[in-house]
Copies of this chain bind each other. A is one copy, B any other.
Amino acid sequence: MKIVIVGAGSPYSPEIFKELSGKSEILPVEEIALVDIDTKRLSIIHSFLERFSKRIGIHARITSHAHWNTALPGADFVITQYRVGGNAARVKDERIPLSMGFIGQETTGPGGMMKALRTIPVALSLAHSMERLCPDAWMINYTNPSGMIAEALSKYSSIHSVGLCAGGIRPAQQLAKAASVREEEIRYDFFGLNHLNFAYNFTIHGKPVSEELLQKTLESRYDEATEPLIRALKLFPSSYLQYYFRTQKRYNDITTAEKTRGERVLELEKVIYDAYANPACDDEPAELKLRGGGGYSQVAIGVLEALYTGVDRWMVCNVPNQGTVACLPNDAVIETACIVNAAGIKPLPQPNFPKTVWGLVCAVKNYEQLAIEAAVTGNRDLALAALVAHPLVRDADRALPLLNALLEANREFLPNFFKES
């Protein structure tokens, strides 16, 4: 088996290795090809991974590539974790909306749209290369915004692909903790989109979860959204829903903080790469914890394992709707409970999705579909319509100057919008 990691210069690449550790019988990896355009970071991470592999018993050959074309031939799985424009672009995604009175966040709101506009053309370019060089391989994407990338891939490429997010297992983790059971015993329905979703119909080993236990589990969300609302909905919401349900508070929190999350990450990165570069370092450095945002690898390797071994596995993934949720288009990618096996990934039906929140999900999906079309075509009208469709913007008078500022600031990463004449 050959795995390609695109964006392998990321400080999270070692997580993937850690997940593969001890699974060599089930997952006989022969080569792990690291791809990154930032060859300096790639070199640091590659060297570290050689030392780390030795320590944790990974025997696969590790190779480095400045472009994916040399890495893709022979690939079985392509794991993607690149960030177009890096964290510097992320800071703009945060700061520009904030300065104009809107939520500024990596994936939610106008910042998320800009990340999509920068990333989708690159994701499709990679997919088209895979169509030529490794047409049977799976792309396991966890570059954000994961659901939008997945929808663009499913609409505009023929390769096998799936979008992942660590958020899908949060409800299981919280309920397992509240009920003192193993995560594997827990199942639930899952309604919505990446970073905008709700878990419901919880069971532990087939028995419905009691109202009391559910509320105990939801307590972990009480600091993130107004308590009476969460209690009324009886749904386990994604933590990103605080941007929708507590917009004013979140806006105040971010703007009064000294630094945005992107700015803090930018600072931390220097420290983390210094740690990785230390030739004595053969384990994940303590500094990585400060970075936050990990946990994807458990999900990614879980999906990879079910696809490879063919053992059926219940997981939350981003896949086309295909009629499972009646209020959304069939071609809309949703984040939902799926069954993964060698034959692929299929969503499970949701005949009774929650009555309280479907309208919000439709509104955000409408935004997503418009933004995807804007990304593919470079059409400014579609980008404006997308922002107006977004519940966190909607006001057209304010959306237009916001759009102009965001496009201008991202000019170098938006060739579709700024075509040379």
Seen from chain A, the residues whose Cβ lies within 8 Å of a Cβ on chain B are 136, 184-185, 187, 203, 205-207, 225-226, 228-229, 231-233, 244-249, 307, 310, 312-314, 322-324, 326-330, 339, 341-344, 346-349, 351, 355-360, 362-367, 369-370, 381-382, 384-385, 388-389, 391, 394-400
Most chain B beta carbons < 10 A, residue from A324, A341, A343, A351: A343
> Could you tell me the distance in whole angstroms from the C-beta of A105 to the nearest C-beta in chain B?
16
Taking CB as reference atom, which chain B residue is nearest A360? B363
Q: Which one of B206, B365, B382 lies within 8 Å of A359 (CB-CB)?
A: B365
In contact, A395 and B359 (Cβ under 8 angstroms): no
Q: Which one of B233, B247, B365 lies within 8 Å of A394 (CB-CB)?
A: B247
Bound form: Cα–Cα A346–B350 in Å: 10
In contact, B341 and A314 (Cβ under 8 angstroms): yes
A343 contacts which chain B residues (CB < 8 A)? 187, 203, 206
In contact, B362 and A367 (Cβ under 8 angstroms): no
Bound form: Cα–Cα A349–B349 in Å: 7
A226 contacts which chain B residues (CB < 8 A)? 396-397, 399-400
In contact, B185 and A342 (Cβ under 8 angstroms): yes
A346 contacts which chain B residues (CB < 8 A)? 348-349
In contact, B384 and A232 (Cβ under 8 angstroms): yes
Bound form: Cα–Cα A206–B389 in Å: 31
> Could you tell me the distance in whole angstroms from the C-beta of A415 to the nearest C-beta in chain B?
22
Taking CB as reference atom, which chain B residue is nearest A362? B362
In contact, A351 and B323 (Cβ under 8 angstroms): yes
Most chain B beta carbons < 10 A, residue from A207, A313, A348: A348
**Known contacts A245-B395, A246-B397, A396-B245; A206/B339 CB under 8 A:** no
Bound form: Cα–Cα A362–B394 in Å: 14
> Could you tell me the distance in whole angstroms from the C-beta of A120 to the nearest C-beta in chain B?
18
Bound form: Cα–Cα A207–B343 in Å: 7
Can you spell out 18 A-B residue pairs with CB atoms less than 8 angstroms apart? A136-B207, A184-B310, A206-B310, A226-B399, A229-B388, A245-B388, A246-B397, A248-B395, A312-B314, A323-B323, A323-B349, A327-B328, A356-B366, A356-B370, A358-B366, A359-B362, A359-B365, A363-B391
Add 7 more A-B contacts to A330-B351, A355-B370, A360-B366 (CB < 8 A).
Answer: A185-B310, A185-B342, A228-B384, A245-B396, A248-B398, A349-B349, A356-B366
The 6 closest A-B pairs by CB, nearest first: A359-B366, A362-B362, A206-B342, A187-B343, A359-B363, A226-B396
This chain: copies in complex: 4
Taking CB as reference atom, which chain B residue is nearest A340? B312
In contact, B349 and A205 (Cβ under 8 angstroms): no
In contact, A396 and B229 (Cβ under 8 angstroms): yes
Bound form: Cα–Cα A391–B364 in Å: 11
In contact, A362 and B203 (Cβ under 8 angstroms): no
Bound form: Cα–Cα A226–B395 in Å: 9
A363 contacts which chain B residues (CB < 8 A)? 359-360, 362-363, 391
> Could you tell me the distance in whole angstroms from the C-beta of A94 to the nearest C-beta in chain B?
20
Q: Which one of B229, B310, B370 lies within 8 Å of A384 (CB-CB)?
A: B229
In contact, A357 and B397 (Cβ under 8 angstroms): no
A233 contacts which chain B residues (CB < 8 A)? 385
In contact, B206 and A307 (Cβ under 8 angstroms): yes
Bound form: Cα–Cα A56–B184 in Å: 32
A351 contacts which chain B residues (CB < 8 A)? 322-323, 330
Bound form: Cα–Cα A398–B252 in Å: 14
Bound form: Cα–Cα A384–B231 in Å: 11
> Could you tell me the distance in whole angstroms from the C-beta of A248 to the nearest C-beta in chain B?
5
Q: Which one of B206, B329, B342, B396 lies within 8 Å of A246 (CB-CB)?
A: B396
A229 contacts which chain B residues (CB < 8 A)? 384-385, 388, 396, 399-400
> Could you tell me the distance in whole angstroms from the C-beta of A354 to the nearest C-beta in chain B?
10
> Could you tell me the distance in whole angstroms from the C-beta of A74 to the nearest C-beta in chain B?
16
> Could you tell me the distance in whole angstroms from the C-beta of A350 to the nearest C-beta in chain B?
9
Bound form: Cα–Cα A314–B343 in Å: 11
A370 contacts which chain B residues (CB < 8 A)? 355-356
